[in-house]
Amino acid sequence: MYNVLVCDDDREIVEAIEIYLSQEGYKVLKAYDGEEALKVLDREKVDLLIIDVMMPKLDGIRATLKIREKKNMPIIILSAKSEDADKILGLNVGADDYMTKPFNPLELTARVKSQLRRYTQLGSTIDKSNQAVYAVGGLSIDDEQKEVTVDGEPVRLTPIEYNILLLLVKNQGKVFSIDQIYESIWNEDAIGEDNTVAVHIRHIREKIEINPKEPRYLKVVWGVGYKIEKL
């Protein structure tokens, strides 16, 4: 059973999400502001977090920043704002997905399933079946331990970042379009998701490159997409 923490100051929304997730077999933990969410995370095992942006005491953006200092479980942000800038901000602070209110509870449930599947099978240490180690230059990915190192130093990636990097490293020299990356990682059609992929690519560069503006590994092929350079 997976534990899903739902954090929103609107108690009716929390209760509605709990009904749908409980029907799918998830245990739902509840919080009503960012500070309370942090306390729950300190005392409970949480496999996925759903958190609203606008809340008292500590909003969802600042709470996500604090959570990402220690934890890498999937985070889905909820917001009444639909502008691209707000979506990008949510992804920038470490969220894996973003949903705009009002939302379809069935779609949210599907996204929870998708995020947990990626996390447990690809982005965490649960799946030990793949013994492969992939390397390019000083960049190495141990896909058994789900560990990334650059010149021997560990790199902390979110599950989405890990999956994107693994896809590119396993296919060194091959150029992937933004749509190809999105559809491979999110397992759904890419419709206007350029910003989503670009934000995650930028995060990966910031973590694996000495100078992200002059990347050694993760290259852009202008007008085409991205690739990991063969070294």
Residues 204 and 112 in one domain: no
pLDDT-derived band of residue 127, with 50, 70 and 90 as boundaries? very low
With 90 as the cut, is the pLDDT of residue 116 above it? no
Band of pLDDT at residue 123, cut at 50, 70 and 90: very low
Q: Is the pLDDT of residue 125 over 90?
A: no
pLDDT at 73 over 50: yes
Most confident listed range (24-33, 148-157, 220-229): 24-33
Q: Does residue 10 lie within any of the structural domains?
A: yes
Residues 114 and 196 reside in one and the same domain: no
Over its C-alpha atoms, the chain yields an Rg (Å, rounded) of 18
Q: Confidence class of residue 128 from pLDDT cuts 50, 70 and 90?
A: very low
Average pLDDT over residues 202-230: 90
Mean pLDDT confidence for 24-33: 95
**CATH number of the domain bearing residue 144:** 1.10.10.10
For residue 128, being part of any structural domain is answered with no
Mean pLDDT of 211-226: 90
Contact 228, 172 (CB under 8 A): yes
User: Does the residue 71 lie in any domain?
Assistant: yes
Last residue of a domain, one of 66, 96, 122: 122
Give the pair of three-digit tokens for residue 52: 């609203």
Q: Are residues 22 and 108 in the same domain?
A: yes
- pLDDT(41) > 50: yes
CB 153 within 8 A of CB 206: no
Distant-in-sequence contacts of 54-63, Cβ < 8 A, 24+ apart: 54/9, 54/79, 54/80, 55/7, 55/8, 55/9, 56/9, 57/33, 58/33, 58/34, 59/34, 60/7, 60/34, 60/90, 61/89, 61/90, 61/93, 62/34, 63/7, 63/34, 63/35, 63/37, 63/38
CATH for 54: 3.40.50.2300
pLDDT at 149 over 80: yes
pTM summary value: 0.64
29: β partners? 5
Beta bridge partners of 142: 133, 147
Residue 44 lies in a domain: yes
Q: Is residue 182 part of a domain?
A: yes
How much is the pLDDT for 37?
Answer: 96
- Pair (152, 205) in one structural domain: yes
Collapsed DSSP state (helix, strand, coil) of residue 86: helix
Give the domain range for residue 177: 133-228
Least confident of 6-10, 32-36, 89-93, 139-143: 89-93
**Total domain count for the chain?**
2
Do 182 and 98 lie in one domain? The reply is no
* 164, 170, 172, 176 alpha-carbon torsion, rounded to 10°: -40
14 and 112 both lie in a single domain: yes
Boundary of a domain, candidates 55, 90, 122: 122
Q: Are residues 171 and 222 in the same domain?
A: yes
For residue 7, tell me if it sits in a domain. yes
Residue 24 inside a domain? The answer is yes
Q: Are residues 12 and 112 in the same domain?
A: yes
Same domain, 103 and 195: no
Same domain, 11 and 91: yes
Note the pLDDT of residue 227. Answer: 94
Phi-psi region of 209 (alpha: psi -120 to 50; beta: other; left: phi over 0): beta
Q: Which long-range contacts link 136-144 to residues 24+ away (Cβ below 8 Å)?
A: 136/169, 136/172, 136/217, 136/228, 136/229, 136/230, 136/231, 137/216, 137/217, 137/231, 139/169, 139/208, 139/217, 139/228, 141/165, 141/166, 141/169
Does residue 189 carry a pLDDT above 70? Answer: yes
85 pLDDT more than 90: no
The average pLDDT across 35-49 equals 95
Same-domain check for residues 173 and 137:
yes
**One domain for residues 158 and 215:** yes
Domain boundary among 62, 91, 122: 122
Higher pLDDT, 51 or 79: 51
**Residue 127, in any domain of the structure:** no
Q: What is the pLDDT of residue 193?
A: 64
Q: What does pLDDT average to over the chain?
A: 87
Q: In degrees rounded to 5, what are phi and psi of residue 49?
A: -120, 130
